[in-house]
Amino acid sequence: MKYIVIKCGGSVLDELTPSFFTSLSELQKRGFKLVFVHGGGPDINDMLNLFRVKPQFVNGLRKTDEQTLKIAEMILSGQTNRKLVALLQQYQFSAVGFNGSDGSCLQADYINREQLGLVGKISKVNTEFLELVLKNNFIPVITPIGITEKGEKLNINADYAAAEVAIALRAVQCLFVTNVDGVFIEGSLACSLSTQEVYSFISNGEISGGMIPKVQSALNAVEKGVESVIIVSGKKTFFNNGQWHGTKIYQKEPITN
């Protein structure tokens, strides 16, 4: 089977348009099996604020105590996941949502319990579980909540989760859905960029502002072993007549003598 892993940030869900779902439909017609991994950062922050819990980040990862994890899981599984599954079903896609901890889908270990608390990195993806869902023509929609061997739930960065799922399934493509068409260099949409080019454009200021975290997420995925990531828009058609519309970020092949 040909898999495509699609990572949706929580902030982009409300901006997905019919054109986005048309592209998903075309991918399915071409025989691709779709897997979604989603975040929910803005909604989690709103709920933490309601509970007067100040968000803390260490090296871009959310420091997570027991209360923060409970709130994160409540929002991810009870709100964001439900929203994305409902949207897919509204456009006639058969979707099933679940926590990454369900069926030990995302098995995880602590990154650094002292520094980050209940934050994990994925040690194994239960591909048998995912393939069972996919073979029955459902689209898995996964919250980035992992589980340890001892049954402890851990908060997982959604970008890292998407990358690990893509690697485990040997996905032909990993998409990061944003609210922009891709990366613009000198006013024009870049069709593809190597990781070296991305770092260069960040350092010279050509890639700036809100695009920096988007490309850094793609870089993280590529550097974890994903062959390439395409940054696409959730507001427009991103796949049409076999052509991708967005910015492909890939690891440049090392030069061999």
Annotated binding site for substrate: 40-41, 62, 155
* Residue set of the binding site: 40-41, 62, 155
The 3 state secondary structure assigned to the chain is CEEEEEEECHHHHHHCCHHHHHHHHHHHHCCEEEEEEECCHHHHHHHHHHCCCCCCEECCEECECHHHHHHHHHHHHHHHHHHHHHHHHHCCCCEEEEECCHHHCEEEEECCHHHHECEEEEEEECHHHHHHHHHCCCEEEEECEEECCCCCEEECCHHHHHHHHHHHHCCCEEEEEECCCCCEECCEECCEEEHHHHHHHHHCCCCCCCHHHHHHHHHHHHHCCCCEEEEEECCCCCEECCEECCEEEECCCCCCC
239 vs 41: CA distance, rounded Å = 27
Nearest to 242 by CA among 76, 48, 32: 32
Rg of the chain (C-alpha set): 18
